[in-house]
């Protein structure tokens, strides 16, 4: 076995279930073209609530993708995660034949921000409507944050290290970092990511308390970070799962290393203290770059958190200036999530997927619905921009105060 | 009045409670086959027990949720206790 210092975690597979596409190809095409799909909320039971605009996953039929015995015991957030995991495994060409003899070499890590609200609401309605004898036993597992990790592990037969990261929205990045550490400690492959399903009545009502939630009723105007028109963020459902493998193990089995999970750091600065997030995010960026052995000038693209709240956007721009110096005003910054909304923990994993695809395609996708940027950053708006991209920095902050930064490096093209 | 549970009804419950498609004839022909072999886990069996208790309006024997095979389960459920008090 390689030493922990030479074992290198690389992304080999990407699976996306997002509002702008229920597979990676559709997601990337819409992302690259800057198509905005945030739209009026149509999910059953949500229409009358004061959240009017969101990013819904509409092109998704779980019964076509997931066996019935898993469907009856899982919430929509787990359906997304299981479907995305399958896409990622297919993309990585990682099948049962690869790990049948060593199931302990494959682990699962997911991040979760709210668990299974729709399933939980249904069973709680049974409880109060009909009595405790009418609550199904799968309630005991379906709405837990850990449900997606457990079901992906059971369904795939992955017996390696399994865990759940619950650290706010930024947990999506922290999950990747945890997968990287798991690889360095000796596991060959980790199925990692996050998907959320916050668009169900109970879940929406929980979010209505967030000051930073956009109440705007016009889809094109509801989520416009880095502008004077910023009025909060639009929530979304969906997310992404990735396959991360030890580079040599991936190459040995003929898989394609696509990006190195090179560096990460996380800080905490308290709920809704956006000015304080400047220092915390800057520290996370600086430490992630140090972890990756990466100079600020080497960052070729930034996937911003882009909350859409004036103070938060300003703090993010200043954090980039603090951490990257003069390079902060030169490096292209993008936030494709303005076209699909923020899928909580799923959002930064979708950004990781987009970052890997951006490096492979040498193109920075644009930030839909954003014009007249009011910060000193080179925000890519309108159309995508061609650029040679070797290093990507992905940022995420949670409403409760987590700040996280992840550095991805493009893998050299394999000699083929 | 007796409310005997048969394999057809058990198969229907395995479908509705646990999403499993099981042939009742297969269960009849292989009396030794366990619930686990059909893919039914302990929570799935608990769901079936709960559904029957609601249907009959009384508790099943405590061992019902620990039954290992469909045959054992039917034997436990179709006792006099259940059928008489449940009528």
Task: Classify residue B36: in a domain, yes or no.
Answer: yes
Between the two ends of chain B, the Cα-to-Cα distance in Å is: 5
> Is A71 touching B (CB cutoff 8 A)?
yes
Single out the residue of A219, A223, A227 nearest to residue A372, CA to CA: A227
Is the Cα dihedral A251, A110, A106, A90 positive or negative?
negative
Same fold, A9-259 and A261-410: yes
The confidence score (pLDDT) of residue B87 equals: 39
Are A305 and A313 spatial neighbours (Cβ–Cβ below 8 Å)?
A: no
**What's the CATH fold of domain A9-259?**
Peroxisomal Thiolase; Chain A, domain 1 (3.40.47)
Handedness of CA B30, B36, B37, B38 (dihedral sign): positive
Choose among A71, A134, A137: nearest Cβ to B46: A137
Architecture of domain A261-410: 3-Layer(aba) Sandwich (3.40)
Yes or no: say if A233 and A227 are a contact pair by the CB < 8 Å rule. Answer: no
Residues A137, B54: C-beta atoms closer than 8 Å: no
Segments making up each domain of chain A, as ranges: 9-259, 261-410
Question: Within a domain: residue B74?
Answer: yes
Residue of A nearest to B18 (CA): A69
CATH number of residue B64's parent domain: 1.10.1200.10
The answer to whether the beta carbons of residues A367 and A338 sit under 8 Å apart is yes
Tally the domains of chain B: 1
Contact B77, B70 (CB under 8 A): no
Instruction: Name residue A385's beta-bridge partners.
Output: A364
Average pLDDT across each block of 10 residues of chain A; the chain has 416 residues. List them in order: 76 98 98 98 96 97 96 98 98 94 96 95 96 94 96 97 96 98 97 98 96 97 98 98 96 94 98 96 98 98 98 98 98 98 98 98 98 97 98 98 98 61
- Residue A4 pLDDT: 61
Spell out the long-range contacts of A265-270 with Cβ–Cβ below 8 A and sequence spacing 24 or more.
A265/A290, A265/A291, A265/A404, A265/A405, A266/A167, A266/A170, A266/A173, A266/A174, A266/A177, A266/A402, A266/A403, A266/A404, A266/A405, A267/A402, A267/A403, A267/A404, A268/A401, A268/A402, A268/A403, A269/A401, A269/A403, A270/A401
* Nearest CA distance, A152 vs chain B (angstrom): 16
User: CB distance from B58 to chain A under 8 Å?
Assistant: no
- pLDDT above 70: residue B3: no
Residues of A in contact with B39 (CB under 8 A): 69
**Chain A contacts of B21, Cβ < 8 Å?**
68
Distance (Å, rounded) from C-alpha A327 to C-alpha A131? Answer: 61
Q: Where are the beta strands (DSSP E) in A294-374?
A: 301-303, 332-334, 363-364
**Has residue B86 got a pLDDT over 80?**
no
> Range of B64's domain?
7-81
Q: Is the pTM of this model over 0.80?
A: yes
Decide if pLDDT at B82 tops 70. no
User: Which whole number is the average pLDDT over B34-40?
Assistant: 96
Residues of A in contact with B43 (CB under 8 A): 73, 137-138, 140-141
Give me the pLDDT at residue B1, please.
35
**CB atoms B43 and A140 under 8 Å:** yes
A229 in Cβ contact with A371 (< 8 Å) = no
């Amino acid at each position: 076995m390689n030493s922990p210092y030479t074992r290198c975690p690389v992304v080999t597979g990407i699976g996306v279930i997002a509002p702008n596409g229920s597979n990676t190809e559709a997601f990337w095409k819409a992302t690259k073209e800057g198509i905005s799909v945030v739209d009026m909320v149509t999910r059953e039971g949500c229409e009358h609530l004061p959240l009017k605009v969101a990013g819904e996953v509409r092109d998704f039929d779980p019964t076509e993708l997931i066996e019935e015995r898993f469907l009856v015991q899982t919430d929509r957030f787990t359906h997304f995660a299981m479907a995305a995991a399958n896409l990622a495994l297919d993309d990585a060409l990682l099948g049962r034949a690869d790990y049948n003899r060593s199931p302990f070499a494959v682990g699962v890590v997911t991040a979760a921000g709210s668990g299974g609200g729709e399933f939980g609401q249904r069973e709680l309605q049974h409880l109060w409507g009909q009595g405790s004898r009418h609550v199904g036993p799968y309630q005991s597992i379906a709405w837990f944050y850990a449900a997606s990790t457990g079901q992906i592990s059971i369904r795939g037969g992955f017996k390696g290290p399994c865990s759940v990261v619950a650290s706010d929205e930024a947990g999506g990045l922290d999950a990747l970092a945890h997968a990287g550490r798991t690889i360095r400690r000796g596991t060959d492959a980790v199925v990692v990511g996050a998907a959320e399903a916050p668009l169900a009545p109970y879940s929406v009502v929980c979010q209505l308390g967030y000051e930073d939630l956009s109440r705007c009723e016009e889809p094109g105007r509801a989520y416009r970070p880095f502008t004077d028109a910023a009025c909060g963020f639009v929530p979304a459902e969906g997310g992404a799962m990735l396959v991360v493998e030890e580079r040599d193990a991936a190459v040995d089995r003929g898989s394609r290393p696509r990006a190195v999970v090179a560096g990460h750091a996380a800080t905490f600065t308290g709920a809704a203290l956006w000015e304080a997030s400047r220092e915390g995010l800057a520290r996370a960026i600086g430490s992630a770059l140090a972890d990756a052995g990466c100079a600020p000038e080497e960052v070729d693209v930034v996937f911003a958190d882009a909350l859409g709240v004036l103070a938060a956007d300003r703090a993010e721009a200043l954090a980039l200036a603090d951490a990257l110096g003069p390079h902060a005003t030169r490096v292209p910054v993008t936030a494709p999530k303005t076209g699909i909304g923020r899928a909580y923990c799923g959002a930064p994993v979708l950004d990781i997927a987009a970052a890997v695809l951006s490096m492979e395609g040498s193109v920075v996708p644009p930030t839909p619905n954003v014009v007249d940027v009011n910060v000193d950053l080179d925000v890519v708006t309108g159309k995508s921009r061609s650029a040679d991209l070797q290093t990507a920095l992905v940022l995420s902050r949670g409403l409760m105060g987590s700040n996280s930064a992840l550095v991805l490096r493009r893998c050299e093209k394999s000699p083929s | 009045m007796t409310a005997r549970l048969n394999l057809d009804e058990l198969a229907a419950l395995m479908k509705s409670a646990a999403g499993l498609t099981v042939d009742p004839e297969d269960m009849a022909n292989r009396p030794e086959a366990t619930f686990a072999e059909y893919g039914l886990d302990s929570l799935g069996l608990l769901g079936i027990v709960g559904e029957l208790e609601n249907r009959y309006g009384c508790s099943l024997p405590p061992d019902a949720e620990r039954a290992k095979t469909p045959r054992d389960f039917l034997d436990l459920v179709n006792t006099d206790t259940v059928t008489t008090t449940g009528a």
